[in-house]
Chains A and B, each alone.
Chain A
Amino acid sequence: MSDAVTITGLGLATPAGLGTDASWGGVLSGKSAAATDPILEGLSVNMSCRVPGFDAGELLGRKAVRRLDRFVQLAVWAGRQAVADAGLDTESWDGPRVGVVLGCGMGGAATWETQHKRMLDQGPSKVSPLLIPMLVPNMVAGQLAMDLGATGPNLVTATACASGATAIGVARDLLRSGACDIVLSGGTEAGLTPLSVTGFAQMGALSGRIDDPGAASRPFDTARDGFVAAESAGIVVLERDADARARGAHRRALLAGYGASADGYHITAPDPNGGGAERAMRAALADASLGTSDVDHVNAHGTSTPLNDESEAKTLRRVLDGEYSVTSTKGVTGHALGAAGAIEAAFSALTIEHGLVPPTANLDTQDPAIEIDVVHTGPRAQPVEVAMSNSFGFGGQNAVLIITAP
């Protein structure tokens, strides 16, 4: 059995747009989705990147609004899109052979905050019995199983901002081992609540450019000062390549390699020497049986924080040889935390499919310490055979995916 695994379906709900085509068009536009957020009114950082036009009542029904936290709502919608895009029929598929592995960093933060306030204001008897099922991060995979009849292995990975990429790597292993025939993977996050955004602000992780939100997320730019928090869901359908070929599926891209590591350095700061990131990159390339000069394109973690962007660029220079373009789609989407690795894997697949590299938004003056070829201003036409998608989580957890042309 060949080890190759193929991406046969995509479902995206990102700040760049609702749906795969809208999201892709949004990142190609190079216009940041960041905006002042009424829910964050009065806070030191009052901006975010939200998914435009996501009306859960209209898209999923009123029951979903009441019983599912937004991080699950986004993923259910994106999961249905991904399965439809893959041309799979949930009525006839062999459910126990279909796994679900999704990444999530925060879980139901909005539910937690709302119910905590209820308890303080009105007493414990007013706390919703749905608090726990709406809050726990693993519920999103459980809900997809219910929604789609996917009753194989089912789990959620938590590696902070790398969760979505970790999930895709774990999903790939379930296909390689033969435990599943199909895995729905990816990530979801909807933690744009007053408390959690304030927590990131207090860490100094967020951009403070609240007077000009559209210019706040500016990866690799000399004036970058932090990330803009985002919500998103990105789901991919993965199958063994032989199975995808046999059923004549649209093979969007191959998931050729996955590498993971831990910095073992600090709770939030990346290792300035990039040791963990480097080991994940090298492991992913080795897993894909590719060399350091084979990479044409990198979808960077590129959060727009001073520390990440410089150390990531230096690590790329140390690891990769030859010519490769780099972009950070977070300039447009903001940082969707546990969903980021998944939506960026999807953007990497779309870059390969369309031969177009999306520009990094707001890159006006590249930081001189960042000596890599960052695409900016507009999309660049470039045939891409091998893309690397980087994700680095707080806690020093690193996940790198290698995505190649089918």
Chain B
Amino acid sequence: MAVYDKVKTLLVEKFGVEEDEISPTATFEDLDLDSLDLVEFALAAEEELGVRISDEEAEQLDTLEDTVKLLEQKGATA
């Protein structure tokens, strides 16, 4: 799951999340990331993966596997 790995790297390197906290079922809330972080995440994902997540979509992001699914639907490839 290459996109998942990319998201994981992003969370660790840019958002300071501990690697062992990250799992497919973890939510952004579990990772102590708030709504401002989600907007930042959307900006970073656009830069790293070349797909755009709208602010409305960013607000809805829940688990990492759902996030990866959304990114893949939008054509993200690692």
Give the interface of A toward B (CB within 8 A). 61-66, 125-126, 128-130, 133
A-B contact pairs, 7 of them (CB 8 A): A62-B15, A63-B32, A65-B16, A126-B43, A129-B36, A129-B40, A130-B40
Q: Is the CB of A133 within 8 A of B43?
A: no
- Identify which of A62, A64, A126, A133 contacts B36 (C-beta below 8 A): A133
Q: Is the CB of B43 within 8 A of A63?
A: no
**Chain B residues in 8 Å Cβ range of A63:** 15-16, 32
Flag whether B74 is at the interface (Cβ < 8 A).
no
- Identify which of A66, A125, A129 contacts B15 (C-beta below 8 A): A66
**Chain B residues in 8 Å Cβ range of A130:** 36, 40
Task: Tell me, in angstroms, the Cα distance from A65 to B13 when the chains sit together.
Answer: 11
> Taking CB as reference atom, which chain A residue is nearest B47?
A126
Q: How far is the CB of B2 from chain A (nearest CB, A)?
A: 24
**Chain A residues in 8 Å Cβ range of B14:** 66
> Taking CB as reference atom, which chain B residue is nearest A133?
B36
Flag whether B70 is at the interface (Cβ < 8 A).
no
Flag whether B49 is at the interface (Cβ < 8 A).
no
Beyond A65-B16, A66-B16, A126-B43, 18 extra complex contacts between A and B, CB < 8 Å:
A61-B16, A62-B15, A62-B16, A63-B15, A63-B16, A63-B32, A64-B16, A66-B15, A66-B40, A125-B43, A128-B40, A128-B43, A129-B36, A129-B39, A129-B40, A130-B36, A130-B40, A133-B36
> Taking CB as reference atom, which chain B residue is nearest A118?
B43
Task: Tell me, in angstroms, the Cα distance from A64 to B16 when the chains sit together.
Answer: 8
The 4 closest A-B pairs by CB, nearest first: A62-B16, A63-B16, A129-B39, A129-B36
Q: How many residues of B sit at the interface, in one of the four size bands?
A: under 10
Q: How far is the CB of B70 from chain A (nearest CB, A)?
A: 18
Q: How far is the CB of B12 from chain A (nearest CB, A)?
A: 8
Q: How far is the CB of A142 from chain B (nearest CB, A)?
A: 14
**Chain A residues in 8 Å Cβ range of B43:** 125-126, 128
Task: Tell me, in angstroms, the Cα distance from A63 to B39 when the chains sit together.
Answer: 15
**Chain A residues in 8 Å Cβ range of B16:** 61-66
Task: Tell me, in angstroms, the Cα distance from A63 to B14 when the chains sit together.
Answer: 8
> Taking CB as reference atom, which chain B residue is nearest A63?
B16
Q: How far is the CB of A65 from chain B (nearest CB, A)?
A: 7
> Taking CB as reference atom, which chain B residue is nearest A57?
B16
Task: Tell me, in angstroms, the Cα distance from A128 to B15 when the chains sit together.
Answer: 13
> Taking CB as reference atom, which chain B residue is nearest A128?
B40
Q: How far is the CB of B16 from chain A (nearest CB, A)?
A: 3
**Chain B residues in 8 Å Cβ range of A64:** 16
Task: Tell me, in angstroms, the Cα distance from A66 to B40 when the chains sit together.
Answer: 10
- Contact mask B5-42 → A, CB, 8 Å, 1/0? 00000000011100000000000000010001001100
Q: How far is the CB of A145 from chain B (nearest CB, A)?
A: 17
Q: How far is the CB of B77 from chain A (nearest CB, A)?
A: 22
**Chain A residues in 8 Å Cβ range of B39:** 129
- Contact mask B31-61 → A, CB, 8 Å, 1/0? 0100010011001000000000000000000
Task: Tell me, in angstroms, the Cα distance from A130 to B14 when the chains sit together.
Answer: 14
Q: How far is the CB of B23 from chain A (nearest CB, A)?
A: 19
Task: Tell me, in angstroms, the Cα distance from A130 to B39 when the chains sit together.
Answer: 9
Task: Tell me, in angstroms, the Cα distance from A125 to B40 when the chains sit together.
Answer: 11
Of listed A62, A64, A130, residue having the most chain B CB within 10 A? A62
Q: How far is the CB of B38 from chain A (nearest CB, A)?
A: 9
Task: Tell me, in angstroms, the Cα distance from A62 to B19 when the chains sit together.
Answer: 13
**Chain A residues in 8 Å Cβ range of B32:** 63
> Taking CB as reference atom, which chain A residue is nearest B12?
A62
Task: Tell me, in angstroms, the Cα distance from A304 to B36 when the chains sit together.
Answer: 43
Q: How far is the CB of B28 from chain A (nearest CB, A)?
A: 13
Task: Tell me, in angstroms, the Cα distance from A65 to B14 when the chains sit together.
Answer: 9
Task: Tell me, in angstroms, the Cα distance from A128 to B14 when the chains sit together.
Answer: 13
**Chain B residues in 8 Å Cβ range of A65:** 16
Q: How far is the CB of A111 from chain B (nearest CB, A)?
A: 13
**Chain B residues in 8 Å Cβ range of A126:** 43
> Taking CB as reference atom, which chain B residue is nearest A125?
B43
**Chain B residues in 8 Å Cβ range of A66:** 14-16, 40
**Chain B residues in 8 Å Cβ range of A133:** 36
Of listed B15, B16, B40, residue having the most chain A CB within 10 A? B16
Q: How far is the CB of A358 from chain B (nearest CB, A)?
A: 38
> Taking CB as reference atom, which chain A residue is nearest B32?
A63
Task: Tell me, in angstroms, the Cα distance from A66 to B32 when the chains sit together.
Answer: 14
Task: Tell me, in angstroms, the Cα distance from A130 to B16 when the chains sit together.
Answer: 15
Q: How far is the CB of A406 from chain B (nearest CB, A)?
A: 41
**Chain B residues in 8 Å Cβ range of A125:** 43
